[in-house]
Amino acid sequence: MQNLEQGTMVRDKWFHIYKEDGDITYQGHVLDYLPPRLVLVQLFSWLDGRPTCQKLLEVTNDWSFYNTKEAMHDAWDLHLETFHHVTGLVESKSYLDCDFNFHDGNPQN
């Protein structure tokens, strides 16, 4: 994990957040850094890659940062080839990683 004492280092980075079992739970882009360990992020859909929502998250050692979106995609491709092949895991990702329900096109908590 990058040193968050220099928070500007994570601003504008792309990331994956890993679960304990080694699978990836979130993918996104860091929009802003809020000391000491919070970041405002834009999350992206697993289904089509489109933006889903923004969240304020705490950075932990479970994060991997990338300089470009392409590098994040390359890491995802490698993850699919190794992790899912080794574990035999076939798990559907939620296409919307937000805590909203949509009714008539309006988000509701």
Summarised one tens digit per residue, pLDDT across range 89-108 is 444 444 445 554 434 444 44
User: Does the residue 62 lie in any domain?
Assistant: yes
User: Does the residue 105 lie in any domain?
Assistant: no
Q: Does the global pTM surpass 0.85?
A: no
- The residue among 64 and 22 whose pLDDT is bigger is 64
- The residue among 2 and 70 whose pLDDT is bigger is 70
Range of the domain at 66: 4-94
Contact in structure between 1 and 63 (CB atoms under 8 Å):
yes
Domain count across the chain: 1
pLDDT digits (tens, 9 = 90+) for 31-67: 999 988 999 999 999 889 899 999 999 999 999 999 9
**Averaged pLDDT, 19-40:** 93
Q: What is the pLDDT, as a whole number, of residue 107?
A: 47
CATH number at residue 24: 2.30.30
Q: How confident is the model at residue 22 (pLDDT cuts 50, 70, 90)?
A: confident
User: Does the residue 103 lie in any domain?
Assistant: no
Contacts with 20 (C-beta within 8 Å, 6 or more apart), sequence order:
none
